[in-house]
Amino acid sequence: MSRFSPRSVLVTGGAGFIGSHFVRDLLTTNSSVNIVNLDALTYAGSRDNLEGSVDSSQHTFILGNICDQALVPSLLRQYDIDTVVHFAAESHVDRAIAGPGVFIETNVQGTFVLLEETRKFWLEEKGWDHTQCRFHHISTDEVYGTLGPEDPPFTETTSYAPNSPYSASKAASDHLVRAYQHTYQLPTTTTNCSNNYGPYQHQEKFIPTVIRSCLNGHPIPVYGDGTNVRDWLYVEDHCTGIWNVIEQGNLGETYNIGGSNNWSNIKIVKLLCRTLAEVTGENEEKYLKLLSFVTDRPGHDWRYAIDSRKIQTELGWQPAHEFEAGIHKTVEWYVTKWRQSHP
């Protein structure tokens, strides 16, 4: 596979947690790429996440929705887009349980609009082949379902078994991407990632919730008995993995990106309490006593784990951040932001 060099990139969901990191990282490392950032700025996206990048001449922010069948094709043509990096998705599992409709609309219909409009523009109108355009789709390990204590980690050939409306909607979008590759030869790649963490993550997510609860002296909510296990990936490592796949990945292939950091939720809470004590100078016990077990959510997957050997072997990617060091950087960022809002 020859190396692909994007020129004009449409990043969907580029004001969200992972998307904003990708935009900032790309602006820092690649001076020749122009970025069009399309985001609807729902609860999960914020212009504040783009601090340091909004004034770049390489970056254009567009307020809009990926389901907009007039806006998407106009952006493709106006900016002569040759690469789509598709982050935009509803991703909060608790919200999917309470109201699954918007997850189907954004994750399934929105992905369909992007695929169909790029197919028309790239293949029919431009007549481009795989050397001239690329559609990269970001998915999740949750499409694979759940693992038992002794099950091997998910690989790219693990059967799909989504257990929530969120993961089912992402699985559907994955299948659409695969279908467009095989039916129309649309040049696509897909990555399925493990749980991300780092600065700018939405406050409803697990690690920001624990940090915020500690700093505000509120109970730390932990589902069930806290034994649920996740593989944690520092967000910047995820972004470098995505870019490696865009530049070097084989067409039609899926690559799993994980951090090889398998921790139970209760151990994460204890690590965060210890790290917060180091950063703030407070007593660790002050935070630990806030621990509060709450009723588990419906259909809560017990364990996720990612086998990243394919991307490591084929593309030479490795996570650069050791987990506890990444947690320390993350805690320092949130503490700084909290102190700025609590002078």
CATH number at residue 78: 3.40.50.720
Start-to-end CA span in the chain (Å) = 54
Confidence of residue 200 (pLDDT cuts 50, 70, 90): very high
More confident residue, 343 or 322: 322
Residue 292 counted as domain residue: no
Q: What is the DSSP letter of 40?
A: -
Which residues lie below 8 Å from residue 153, measured CB to CB, with a gap of 6+?
Answer: 147, 231, 258, 305, 306, 307
Question: What are 204's two structure tokens?
Answer: 């409803």
Residue 273 counted as domain residue: no
- Domain interval for residue 251: 8-197+233-258
Residue 42 counted as domain residue: yes
Whole-number Å distance between alpha carbons of 115 and 141: 22
Residue 50 counted as domain residue: yes
pTM here is 0.94
Which has the minimum average pLDDT: 10-14, 66-70, 203-207, 325-329?
203-207
Confidence check: pLDDT of 295 > 90: no
Structure confidence by residue, pLDDT tens digits, 299-321: 677 799 999 999 999 999 999 99
Residue 282 counted as domain residue: no
Backbone angles phi, psi at 128, to 5 degrees: -75, 155
Confidence check: pLDDT of 90 > 60: yes
Whole-number Å distance between alpha carbons of 79 and 50: 20
Residue 276 counted as domain residue: no
More confident residue, 333 or 149: 333
Q: What is the mean pLDDT of residues 112-122?
A: 98
More confident residue, 31 or 168: 168
Q: What is the mean pLDDT of residues 218-224?
A: 91
Residue 215 counted as domain residue: no
Which has the minimum average pLDDT: 42-46, 47-51, 336-340?
42-46
Whole-number Å distance between alpha carbons of 56 and 313: 35
Query: Rounded to the nearest 5 degrees, what angle is found at the Cα of 203, between the Cα atoms of 226 and 332?
Result: 90
Q: What is the mean pLDDT of residues 204-223?
A: 94
State the pairing for strand pair 262-264/229-234: antiparallel
Structure confidence by residue, pLDDT tens digits, 157-182: 999 999 989 999 999 999 999 999 99
The pLDDT score that the predictor gives to residue 63 is 97
**Contact at 8 Å (CB) between 159 and 165?**
no
Residues with a known catalytic role? 141-142, 166
Residue 266 counted as domain residue: no
The pLDDT score that the predictor gives to residue 92 is 65
More confident residue, 99 or 137: 137
The pLDDT score that the predictor gives to residue 127 is 98
The pLDDT score that the predictor gives to residue 54 is 65
The total number of structural domains in the chain stands at 1
Which has the minimum average pLDDT: 49-53, 122-126, 271-275?
49-53
In Å, how far are 44, 57, 75, 159, 193 from 111, measured between CA atoms?
18, 28, 15, 21, 18
Work out the mean pLDDT of the chain and round it to a whole number. 93
The pLDDT score that the predictor gives to residue 1 is 55
The pLDDT score that the predictor gives to residue 106 is 92
